[in-house]
Chain A
Amino acid sequence: MNNQIQTLTKTMKTGNGRRKLTIAVTGLNNIDSPGPGIPVIRGLKEAASFDVRIVGLAYENLEPGIYMHDMVDKAYQIPYPTVGHDTLLARIEYIHAQEKLDVIIPNFDAELYSFIKIQPRLEQLGIHMLLPTLEQFDARLKGKLFEFGEKYDIEVPKSSEVFSVDELAEKLKKYEYPVAIKGKFYEAGIAYSYEQAKSYFHKIGAKWGTPIIIQEFIKGQELNVTALGDGKGRTIGAVPMRKTYITDSGKGWAGISLGDPSLVKMAEKLISKTKWAGGLELELIKEEKTGKIYLIEINPRFPAWVYLAVGCGQNHPEALVRMALGEKIAPFKKFDVGKMFIRYSYDMICDMADFKKMAIDGER
């Protein structure tokens, strides 16, 4: 409650009588495999309950969001998660001194651990976040997902973690081909033989490190749900989607919202059992033979297609910010079915001065 009062007194009212919040957002890499930053910002800009000043937090000087002045009011470089969370905290403290941040929305899996670690300190500074706990974050890691499913009575394909090629051969004996071979954070391939599995092991392992995850392959329709939990077991919103156009690298370039209640129920069950706080994306497969829904992956943040939820009438980023500020909000009751998203790429012509500022000063 104290936090809420502090926040409300701190926030400025704009000309239209609405409060103005300063929100920092990561994931500005709006590339062919886009981060969720820009879609989240679009949701925030369309928020009905507040106006917003956006502070973009970027890892690379060429993240497109830095140059999108209509989306990002001010951009700062932040250190990579591998540098450690103390360095991140020091950088956020500097940014906070300039910007007086109200909320931060981290949008990368790889940075979440650091943000969860520094959350108590940021709360003391008056910067709010709505994030899963470390236990929740760890429990849904790809290598542990099978145990997660057993614990919460959710169907999950069998999986194993593998650290070496010798171990790969041994563990594969327990599986039938095809199998899915997945990186611990990103990338996956479907292997139809040991040779293919080995090739994926080396390719994905070289890029993302070990463990590599072997997962039983379920034949069926791949579906996704973007959802938001309040941390107390309540689902604030959930919108299911099927990708209707997939790029060579397996990313959805177009998709459509679905009216399948069993998918929303799956999200509600998972959020209720885990008491998940914050945004998440469920990757699911509806098995062709049985109609059973299997949980393939939980991404612990909003997906890059979260703006489809906004377009369907559920502004998840706005709801997340309000909850982060301690407000009680009612769950969304409905969403539009049959709404489509289609991505496009767009060449911005940018001023060299912005690049120079980011490269030299670490901000623009």
Chain B
Amino acid sequence: MKLKNDVATSESGFVFNAARGESFTTNPIGVDIIRLLKEKKEIADILESLEQQYEIDAATLEKDLYDFLKILKQYNLLEE
């Protein structure tokens, strides 16, 4: 799972796809996930990092993460 090179993000949750000229906003958890993707972390590492940060059970976290990644893919923000 890799974020496209031409996707720029800010700490405030603003996401900009420079190739398509599309912008999105996300919440602080989304910002964390995108940052971890940018650091080229594997899914397991992202899950572990989020589990440490947020009070959430592993199953819900995993489901929510995959939902979020699906949205990123749908919006053309992830490499194929």
A interface list, Cβ under 8 A from B:
221, 241-242, 244, 255-260, 337-338
With an 8 A cutoff between CB atoms, is B18 at the interface? yes
- Taking CB atoms, residues of chain A closer than 8 Å to B8 are 338
> 8 A-B contacts, Cβ less than 8 Å apart?
A241-B21, A242-B20, A242-B21, A259-B18, A259-B19, A260-B6, A260-B18, A338-B21
Please give 7 more A-B residue pairs, beta carbons under 8 A apart, in addition to A242-B20, A259-B19: A221-B20, A242-B21, A260-B6, A260-B18, A337-B18, A338-B8, A338-B18
B16 A258 Cβ-Cβ under 8 A: no
User: Bound state CA distance, A358 and B30, in angstroms?
Assistant: 60
Give, as a whole number of angstroms, the nearest-CB distance from A334 to chain B. 13
Give the docked Cα–Cα distance between A241 and B8 (Å): 17
Closest CB in chain B relative to A258 CB, distance in Å:
5
CB neighbours of A221 from chain B (8 A): 20
8 shortest A-B CB distances, which residue pairs? A259-B18, A242-B21, A256-B21, A260-B19, A337-B18, A258-B21, A259-B6, A259-B19
Contacting residues, chain A, for B18 (C-beta < 8 A): 258-260, 337-338
Which chain B residue shows the least CB distance to A288? B76
Q: Which residues of A contact B19 (CB under 8 A)?
A: 258-260
**A46 → chain B closest CB, angstroms:** 24
Complex-state Cα separation, A137 to B20, whole angstroms: 30
B6 CB contacts on chain A under 8 angstroms = 259-260
Q: CA A221 – CA B18 in complex, angstroms?
A: 14
Most A Cβ at <10 Å: residue of B6, B8, B20, B22: B20
Q: In the assembly, what is the distance between CA of A193 and CA of B33, in Å?
A: 46
Q: Which residue of B lies closest to A258 (CB)?
A: B21
